Structure formats: structure tokens, C-alpha cells
Amino acid sequence: TGTPGSDEIARWSRAAHRWDDLLPLVDQMHPDAGVQLRKALADVDPALRSLVERLGTLYRTTQQMPGTQAATAAHHASIEVAARLREGVEAYEGLVAAAAELIAAAQQAAGLDGIEAPDLQQSVTQIVGPAVLDVQAYTSGLRKAAGTFDPSY
């Protein structure tokens, strides 16, 4: 679909904009999960941003030096960088999904979805606990993915 990485950049941008809505709700419903999410984002965003910047440089090289060996090499390199960005964006989107699931679970447990919550024998923490573990698992995966980014590329 055109320029290598353009779809991934758009996906990352859309996912990143979701945090403006999601983080305040997570903070309100489960502050520990909010801290965990912010830490994951602080670790991952610079790595993804670096890949996007590399793609921009490679794209400009292909555009400003058409038909040259440099343009060909830059195009091939951009395909490799786009693949790494795709992996990172998929993990990032997984983190957004986990945060949304956490919000839904917390709202349901607290009866905030407009429907009276059932009389539960469990505390909200027990109900939300599995969702928090999911967020933490995604966070761990993102950290591992961030470790695969080679800043010297």
C-alpha cells in the first residue's frame, strides 16, 4: 500500500490518540493500572517514534535521489524498518485493547454502565484483577518488543 510504513504510522497515530480518553478513566478506576500504562507508554513511545523518524529519512532519500543505488538501499531498508514498526504497533494496539477491557470490566463491576450491577460476592479488585493482569502482560510484551528495537539502525 504505497510507502513502506505509512499504514503502520497511521495505526500508531490512531492508537496513541485513544490514550487521551482511556488514561483518565483507567486512573480513576484503577490507579495502579494507570501508573503501569504510563510507564509502558514512556518506554515504548520513544522507540516507535524513532522508527517513524527513520522511515521519514529513508522515504526522503528515495524521493530526493530517484534511480540511484542510495534510493534502492533506502527503499529496502524502509521495508525492514516498517516490519519492526508493524510489530511494535500491534503490541501497542494490544495495550489499548487491554485498557479498554479494563475500563469495561471496572464499569460493569461498579454498575457504571447504566445497568444495576448484580449483587456480587466478590470485591471490585477481585473482579478487575484478571484485567489488570492482562494489562500487565501486555506491558511486559511491549517492554520485550521495545528491547528488540535497535537504536543504532
Q: Above 60 in pLDDT, residue 104?
A: yes
Across 146-153, average pLDDT? 47
> Which three cell numbers, joined as nine digits, stand for 23?
488514561
The answer to whether the predicted template modeling score (pTM) of the entire model surpasses 0.75 is no
- Segment 25-62, tens digit of pLDDT: 999 888 888 998 998 888 889 999 999 999 999 999 99
* Run of H or E residues at 150: none
Instruction: Return the axis-axis angle of helices 6-29 and 31-64, rounded to nearest 10°.
Output: 170
Q: Above 70 in pLDDT, residue 68?
A: yes
Tell me the pLDDT band of 125, cut-offs 50, 70 and 90.
low
pLDDT of residue 86: 92
Helices (H) and strands (E) in the chain, counts: 4, 0
Closest residue by Cα to residue 60 from 75, 82, 46, 49: 75
DSSP three-state, residue 28: helix
pLDDT of residue 117: 43
pLDDT of residue 118: 42
Q: Above 90 in pLDDT, residue 108?
A: no
How confident is the prediction for the chain on average, in pLDDT? 80
